[in-house]
Amino acid sequence: MKNSDALVLGIETSCDETAVGIVAGRKLLANVISSSVDEHARFGGVVPEIASRAHLEAMPNVIAQALSDAKVSLKDIDAFAVTAGPGLIGALLVGTSSAAGLALALDKPLYGVNHLSAHIAVDSLNSDHKLNPAIALLVSGGHSSILEVTDLTSDVKTLGSTIDDAAGEAFDKIARILELGFPGGPAIDREAKSGNPDAIEFPRGLTLARDLVDHKYDFSFSGLKTAVSRYLAKTPSYLRADVAASFQEAVVDVLLMKAIGAAKESGIETLIIAGGVAANSRLRELASERTTKAGIQLRIPPMDLCTDNGAMVAAIGSLAVAKGLKPSQIGFAADSSSGISKPIF
Amino acid sequence: MSTYLLIDTSTSRTSVAIVGDGKTLFASHHDGALSHGEALPELVAQGLKLESRIDRVIVGMGPGPFTGLRAGISFAQSFALGRGIPWQGVCSLDAIANQISESDFIVAIDARRKEVFFARYTNGLRIGEPKVCQPSQLTAFDIPIYGEVSNQYPDPTAFIAIAESGATYFQPIYVRRPDAYPAPVGVKFRPMNQLDLVPIFSIEKSAYGKAAWTMAQLKEESAGKDRMYVVGEFEGELIAYAGVVNLAGTADVLTLTVADPHRRKGIGRELLRRLIDWSRTQKCEAIMLEVRVGNEEAIPLYESFGFIEISQRKDYYGPGKTAIIMRKELV
Ligand SMILES: [Zn+2]
């Protein structure tokens, strides 16, 4: 095998999706996801124990389906990759134990990988563009950060991140207040389509001149959340679609303002937007408009690769193999709060 | 004969063995309640260096703390998948019991939250499925208790014989359900009013027969002071009711009844949760209830909320029908 064509199987179980992806080098062969989101919807959030039970039950079938989609057998796999953190520890352990079982059974290398790096790495699939350097805006249920990516498998610097809620969390909370259901991201996106984004002027956190001194690339969404609740309380006749659209606009505006600012200032001409919130249609639309205007190259993975999936884990595993990086030690510890500075365990 | 990879992660100990043709080729363990995920692959890697040809995997399916337990099962099923060999699961407690030569005893292991998973063994056979309870409740059996307390852990080399005796599992033996429960789908809960007494009376009769409250009793009970009644409705029809009274700082469950066709859907659980919530708002220090001995549906429900048996009352529900008094502290 040439390292750059290695067949890599990636396993993702950090939250509520049991997912397996298979890639050959940078070519995506299979991406299978079994989600327990419906079971969690009734609680308005992910219940760790329910997620972990679902992972264990779904795993063998998800692996089998991915192999069948990719038309390969387990014996053909050159290396395994698995999300080792961040995530729910009980959920992560189902994935890492399963991956270790496969790697030991087949005597193949295993890479424990960082979930956040994987979100960005998925951008490498199905194209041959140069990967680095890039500014990455990583926005998901648990994270909102701006990163400077010199090398995705070894050198990622955090330029800024949220000081309170993650963008995805803000979507979930506002969706709950608006009684739009869980998960909140797609629900708000849908509702906002028939609303006016300029109807209500919601605040953009950390964008005042004095904020820019210490928090140039940081985000804050808690003030926005309070502003929305206040607005609803004093406006009994509010239009739900307008609230959703104006809230969404406030989030998306500030995300892009700061991310494009970082690209301009660093002189790095590529902006990657990744993570679950990158599936938001308004974010995609506005990002495309503003980057074109700023002369920055924009890359956003296809919608189905933005939310948690196995392809992204296989993708970063594949980059590690291509670079000839050492596999993780057998028995590495999953880390529920691991940071992006450690892409490979 | 064949070679077996044997794994157990149901206790704080991670154990791995490889047995071929009846001979133990490798057996090792690692102690540490939070390190199954790390220890297991390392131990298996060591074992495979001694014997890498494996024909079958057997894994302990618990009961045991869930996170560690799943690490073992997840590993086992994927290892078997990778090798294209069969795997099966056995009850981990059986692999402690097989080390003990008495005729009547209990095996118990830590279940966290001040509880234990346990099973009783008589003349070499397990009596029923494993259960969960508080350690103090085991002493009532008045027979010896083995397990983690006596530093005994599942011996995976015993798994082969246990599997051959036919007692195998393909789902983890969770015993406990997850803490979070979905609210019963389509069921609406609201405070009771006088109009509800007619449907309540008809459920009361079919649920309790001769021991049912009369209409007069129902009226009197529901109109009393310091109490709260809640009912559940499904498609506009009253199907469940419950009530609780605050007696000088201790809450007492007056009734908790679900019409027969709607049982086992989590409705009783939702009602009980509302009674407990109300009792807390009344600043009650504890909540108590009576349940008939042998009520296999209700007792586990109450236990899962932390109710403990504190005493029994003979003939409470009529001649020969003993009530168990249970209590849960609220402070
Ligand atoms: Zn994610």
Evaluate if residue A40 carries a pLDDT over 80. no
Active site residue B302: yes
- CA torsion, ordered B303, A88, A183, A134, to nearest 10 deg: 180
- The predicted pLDDT at position A143 comes to 84
**Which residue in chain B has the smallest CA separation from A333?**
B38
Q: Closest CB to A96: pick one of B37, B72, B77.
A: B37
The answer to whether the Cβ–Cβ distance between B182 and A101 falls below 8 Å is no
ipTM, 2 dp = 0.93
From ligand 1's centre to the CA of A116, what distance in Å?
7
Q: Give yes or no for a contact between A84 and A113, defined as CB atoms under 8 angstroms apart.
A: yes
Q: What is the pTM of this model?
A: 0.79
Strands of the B56-60 sheet, one edge to the other: B23-31, B13-20, B3-8, B56-60, B87-90, B168-169
d(CA A147, CA B40): 35
The answer to whether the Cβ–Cβ distance between A101 and B75 falls below 8 Å is yes
The answer to whether the Cβ–Cβ distance between B78 and A332 falls below 8 Å is no
Per CB-CB distance under 8 Å, the chain A contacts of B72 are: 97
Chain A nearest-CA distance from B7, in A, is: 12
Helix (H, G, I), strand (E, B) or coil at B126: strand
**Which residue in chain B has the smallest CA separation from A64?**
B81
The answer to whether the Cβ–Cβ distance between A333 and B41 falls below 8 Å is no
**Which residue in chain A has the smallest CA separation from B7?**
A101
From ligand 1's centre to the CA of A104, what distance in Å?
27
Q: Give a three-class secondary structure readout of B307-325.
A: CEEEEEECCCCCCCCCEEE
What's the mean pLDDT when you consider all of chain A?
A: 93
Residue matched to tokens 């009576």: B290
Q: Which helix (H) or strand (E) holds A54?
A: helix A48-70
Active site residue B146: no
The answer to whether the Cβ–Cβ distance between A331 and B38 falls below 8 Å is yes
d(CA B190, CA B135): 38
d(CA A119, CA A154): 15
The answer to whether the Cβ–Cβ distance between A90 and B67 falls below 8 Å is yes
- The tens-digit pLDDT sequence of chain B (331 residues) is 699 999 999 999 999 999 999 999 999 999 998 899 999 999 999 999 999 999 999 999 999 999 999 999 999 999 999 999 999 999 999 999 999 999 999 999 999 878 899 999 999 899 989 999 888 889 888 999 999 888 999 999 999 999 998 788 989 999 877 665 556 777 888 888 888 999 999 999 988 888 888 888 888 888 888 899 999 998 889 999 999 999 988 999 999 999 988 887 788 988 998 898 888 888 888 999 999 887 877 888 888 787 888 888 887 777 777 888 898 888 7
The answer to whether the Cβ–Cβ distance between A43 and B79 falls below 8 Å is no
Chain A nearest-CA distance from B250, in A, is: 31
From ligand 1's centre to the CA of A113, what distance in Å?
13
| Per-residue pLDDT reduced to its tens digit, A120-157 | 999 999 888 888 899 999 998 888 999 999 999 999 99
Residues from A contacting B (CB-CB < 8 Å) are 39, 42-43, 47, 49-50, 52-53, 55-56, 59-60, 63-64, 74, 89-90, 93-106, 330-334
From ligand 1's centre to the CA of A118, what distance in Å?
8
DSSP assigned state of A199: S
- The predicted pLDDT at position A11 comes to 98
The answer to whether the Cβ–Cβ distance between B178 and A49 falls below 8 Å is yes
Measured between alpha carbons, how far is residue A71 from residues A11, A29, A218, B158, B273 in Å? 17, 8, 44, 39, 50
Query: What structural domains and CATH numbers belong to chain B?
Result: 3-164 (3.30.420.40), 187-329 (3.40.630.30)
d(CA B260, CA B207): 7
Chain A nearest-CA distance from B174, in A, is: 10
For A205-269, give the DSSP string: TT-STTHHHH-TT-B--HHHHHHHHHHHHH-TT--HHHHHHHHHHHHHHHHHHHHHHHHHHHT--
* Of A40-49, A186-195, B166-175, minimum mean pLDDT range: A40-49
- The predicted pLDDT at position A13 comes to 97
From ligand 1's centre to the CA of A306, what distance in Å?
8
Per CB-CB distance under 8 Å, the chain B contacts of A89 are: 67
The answer to whether the Cβ–Cβ distance between B75 and A98 falls below 8 Å is yes
Instruction: Please list, in sequence order, all residues whose beta carbon lies within 8 angstroms of the beta carbon of residue B83, skipping any fewer than 6 positions away.
Output: A105, A106, B54
| Per-residue pLDDT reduced to its tens digit, B22-43 | 999 999 999 998 899 999 999 9
B3, B75, B265: best to mutate for the A interface, most A CBs within 10 A = B75
Q: Determine if the peptide bond prior to A133 is cis (ω within 30°).
A: yes
| Per-residue pLDDT reduced to its tens digit, A236-273 | 899 999 999 999 999 999 999 999 999 999 999 999 99
Check B146, B204, B302, B303 and give the catalytic one.
Answer: B302
B70, B74, B175: best to mutate for the A interface, most A CBs within 10 A = B74
Chain B nearest-CA distance from A7, in A, is: 15
Residue B230 — φ and ψ, nearest 5°?
A: -130, 145
| Predicted confidence band of residue A41 (pLDDT cuts 50, 70, 90) | low
- A:B CB pairs within 8 Å: 118
**Which residue in chain A has the smallest CA separation from B53?**
A105
